[in-house]
Amino acid sequence: MSTSTLSAPAHLPSWPPEVSPEQLDHLLLLATTHALTNGFILLAPPAPTPGNPPTQTFAAPMSIFPTPFPRRLFDRVRLLQPIYNVLYARVALDWEFIDGVFQGVSRVDDFQGALWRGWKSIREDLVQDLQLGIFRSDYLLHDTGDEKPLAIKQVEFNTIASSFGALSQRAGELHRYLARATNGYYNASPEMNRMSNYPENHSLELTAEGLSDAWKMYGRTRAAILFVVQPTERNIFDQRWLEYELMAKNDGLRVLRHTMRELEDLAQVEQLTQRLYLPCPEDPYSSATEIAVVYYRAGYGPNDYSTGSEWDTRLLLERSRAIKCPSMALQLAGAKKIQQVLAEPGKLEEFLLGENQPDVGFGAGAGKLNQNHVDMLRETWIGLYPMNSIGLEMALNHPELYVLKPQREGGGNNIYREDIPEYLASLEGNKKDTSAAYILMEMIEPPPGVGNLLLKGGEKRPKLTEVVSELGVYGVMLFGERKGIVNREAGTLLRTKGRDSDEGGVAIAHPEYGLIWAKDEI
Ligand code: ADP
Ligand code: MG
Ligand code: MG
């Protein structure tokens, strides 16, 4: 198989470059061995259980070529990340604003309702002032088709379990290696030989640093970090890399991993101090280990609370002295309904420029926020509407322009374009009250004509497909009631997905990875 080039519009390079069948075989061998050697991997089923440790892995899904992405837009959204961090920190600190939004949402969405009511029941009693956000702001390129330059538009802002920071760093290393080992993909072009076109990405190191900053602020060197994980997780290596990175850079720091169900039996909070303890046979000093930071890679959807008693565990952890990543307030701030309400006139000004806003910081030396920052942020937004009677009419009259989103995370929940009217008609009872349960979002239209060879996990031959690339920018924010301690951009992720379905087909279970090839002139 050789890679015949897809026809690209004038403003994008034809992609990917052609390689011969022999070169492709060579490239695949280099790619999969690099991935397997360096832990760019996913777990093969079945999920490990106690006594049955994992023995089989796959190279994670990958794009064989890096993906071209305009450098100008790539740099712009990276620069905006500290401002986004401030925005979402301030939302999490604004109880009145959150209550205003979730009063409506909670009437129609049991999961969000439980999260909000749970948080309300304990928020007056919290003893830990600090909270940690490991965010990821996701974007797609937007092509209006009328000769205007490409724009970049935000898809969503994740405040809980923002994953792939580790695998993304490995994907970047993979493409840099392939470029070097094959002399710029067999001398495809001078640009392919220029290593500055393959930006370095330190998303693993920088997100781990956020966790270790919180651990240091907690101030007890013998305390550990708890990862709250799902029992059937396949993306465990992305999480393990964080653990290893934390241990490598911080003497004495340990990571414990538990599911919500396990924590129900294991977690203990000391009444007087609200310190959180877990049994830990490996602890050389005592039988119980204090937890400094609770890091959630679970807990973002109803499935993680299937018996109901997981909510008691969540509240127990939330009330404890440990620093939560994220706090329940920060998780609520990441709801899609909040994204839509922030897009209402004046809201952004209120949060970024308001006199009474807490000084959660704006990165080292970045100065004060001004209208220019507000405008730059807003430029990354596309139409977001409530599903009230006006939104409903818009959706029914022109479904082809929109995606309908419920308050869910983790992919696979949205309703696209022509499917919207039928879906709305199928809603019954109180589900018909769509105004708070959904948001209506204009479709972002990525430029056509960019292809790539996508290799799925466990498969031997890649598929040449037209692709869409979603750029994620990580942010780390450690903040308290009136202060900011850490505010950083923390690397990037480029998920390159087949264009064949709106959500990128395989993207739900098997995100494809690609490195940005950020050319200046496109
Ligand atoms: P989740 O929290 O489940 O990841 P997202 O809002 O990221 O929800 O939506 C999932 C996917 O749907 C995105 O990765 C993207 O591929 C697609 N998508 C979401 N919103 C839009 C949009 N406005 N335009 C085009 N595609 C979108
Ligand atoms: Mg999300
Ligand atoms: Mg998403």
Ligand 1 pocket (Cβ < 6 Å) reads 138, 140, 155-156, 403, 405, 409-411, 413-414, 441, 443-444, 470, 503-504
- Annotated catalytic residue: which of 158, 168, 197, 201? 158
Q: Are 123 and 95 in contact (CB under 8 A)?
A: yes
- Active site (annotated) includes residue 18: no
- Annotated catalytic residue: which of 71, 78, 90, 136? 136
Q: Is residue 510 part of a domain?
A: yes
* Domain final residue, candidates 404, 427, 443: 443
Nearest protein CA to atom 10 of ligand 1, as residue: 411
User: Which of 306, 227, 224 lies closest to 261 in space, CA to CA?
Assistant: 306
Residue range of the domain that includes 424: 383-443
Distance 117 CA to ligand 3 centre (A): 25
Q: How many helices (H) and strands (E) does the chain have?
A: 18, 20
Distance 157 CA to ligand 2 centre (A): 7
Q: Please report how the helices 310-319 and 110-122 are oriented relative to each other, as an axis angle in degrees rounded to 10.
A: 40
**Which atom of ligand 1 is least distant from the CA of 503?**
16
Q: ipTM of this predicted complex? A: 0.99
**Which atom of ligand 1 is least distant from the CA of 156?**
6
- Identify the bridge partners of residue 402 per DSSP, sorted by sequence position: 442
User: Does the pLDDT value for residue 282 go beyond 80?
Assistant: no
Query: Nearest bound ligand to CA 410?
Result: 1
Euclidean distance between CA atoms 266 and 277, whole angstroms? 8
- Annotated catalytic residue: which of 39, 383, 410, 505? 410
Euclidean distance between CA atoms 83 and 62, whole angstroms? 31
Same domain, yes or no: 220 and 252: yes
CA dist 393 → 420, 421, 459 (Å): 11, 10, 45
User: Does the pLDDT value for residue 512 go beyond 60?
Assistant: no
What is the average pLDDT across 268-281? 94
Q: Give the count of domains, the chain.
A: 2
Provide the token pair at 302: 């109803």
* pLDDT attached to residue 8: 55
pLDDT, tens only, 442-485: 999 998 888 899 998 889 999 998 888 899 999 999 999 888 99
> Considering the chain, what percentage of its residues have pLDDT values greater than 70?
92
Same domain, yes or no: 255 and 204: yes
User: Does the pLDDT value for residue 520 go beyond 60?
Assistant: no
Distance 138 CA to ligand 2 centre (A): 8
Same domain, yes or no: 338 and 387: no
Same domain, yes or no: 125 and 203: yes
Longest dimension (CA), the chain: 69
> Considering the chain, what percentage of its residues have pLDDT values greater than 90?
72
* pLDDT attached to residue 366: 57
Distance 110 CA to ligand 3 centre (A): 21
The phi-psi region of residue 46 (left if phi > 0; otherwise alpha if psi is between -120 and 50; otherwise beta) is beta
Same domain, yes or no: 251 and 396: no
What is the average pLDDT across 195-223? 95
**Which atom of ligand 1 is least distant from the CA of 411?**
3
Provide the token pair at 484: 């900011």
Same domain, yes or no: 129 and 267: yes
Higher local confidence (pLDDT), 7 or 309: 309
- Active site (annotated) includes residue 405: yes
Q: What is the CATH number of the domain that holds 410?
A: 3.30.1490.50
What is the average pLDDT across 116-126? 98
Q: Is residue 425 part of a domain?
A: yes
Provide the token pair at 118: 């749970």
Distance 411 CA to ligand 1 centre (A): 7
User: Does the pLDDT value for residue 87 go beyond 90?
Assistant: yes
Same domain, yes or no: 73 and 130: yes
User: Does the pLDDT value for residue 5 go beyond 80?
Assistant: no
CA dist 230 → 254, 345, 353 (Å): 19, 39, 39
- Active site (annotated) includes residue 22: no
| Substitution site in 158, 413, 414, 513 for ligand 1 pocket (most atoms within 8 Å of beta carbon) | 414
- Active site (annotated) includes residue 286: no
Q: Is residue 182 part of a domain?
A: no
Same domain, yes or no: 80 and 159: yes
Same domain, yes or no: 361 and 431: no
* pLDDT attached to residue 514: 47
Q: Is residue 452 part of a domain?
A: no
**Which atom of ligand 1 is least distant from the CA of 336?**
6
- Active site (annotated) includes residue 481: no
- Active site (annotated) includes residue 417: no
Q: Is residue 307 part of a domain?
A: yes
Q: Are 496 and 468 in contact (CB under 8 A)?
A: yes
Phi then psi for residue 474, to 5 deg, are -80, 150
pLDDT, tens only, 401-444: 999 999 998 888 999 999 999 999 999 887 778 888 999 999 99
pLDDT, tens only, 350-399: 999 998 999 887 755 557 899 999 999 999 999 999 999 999 999 999 99
- Annotated catalytic residue: which of 90, 495, 497, 499? 495
Q: Is residue 47 part of a domain?
A: no
Distance 496 CA to ligand 2 centre (A): 16
441 HSE (CA, 13 A, CB side): 26
Q: What is the CATH number of the domain that holds 479?
A: 3.40.50.1760
Nearest protein CA to atom 17 of ligand 1, as residue: 503
| Strand blocks (E) in 34-178 | 41-43, 57-59, 62-63, 67-70, 131-142, 151-158
- Annotated catalytic residue: which of 71, 297, 336, 488? 336
Distance 139 CA to ligand 2 centre (A): 12
- Active site (annotated) includes residue 163: yes
How high is the mean pLDDT of the chain?
90
Distance 409 CA to ligand 2 centre (A): 4
Q: Is 199 helix (H, G, I), strand (E, B) or coil?
A: coil
Q: Which residues surround ligand 2, an ion (CB under 5 A)?
A: 156, 158, 409
- Annotated catalytic residue: which of 191, 262, 409, 466? 409
- H-only helix segments in 62-94: 71-93
Same domain, yes or no: 302 and 437: no
Q: What is the DSSP letter of 7?
A: P
- Annotated catalytic residue: which of 63, 163, 212, 320? 163
- H-only helix segments in 369-429: 371-378, 389-397, 419-426
* Domain final residue, candidates 443, 477, 492: 443
Same domain, yes or no: 375 and 391: no
| Substitution site in 112, 155, 384, 445 for ligand 1 pocket (most atoms within 8 Å of beta carbon) | 155
* pTM listed for this prediction: 0.95
Q: Is 383 helix (H, G, I), strand (E, B) or coil?
A: coil
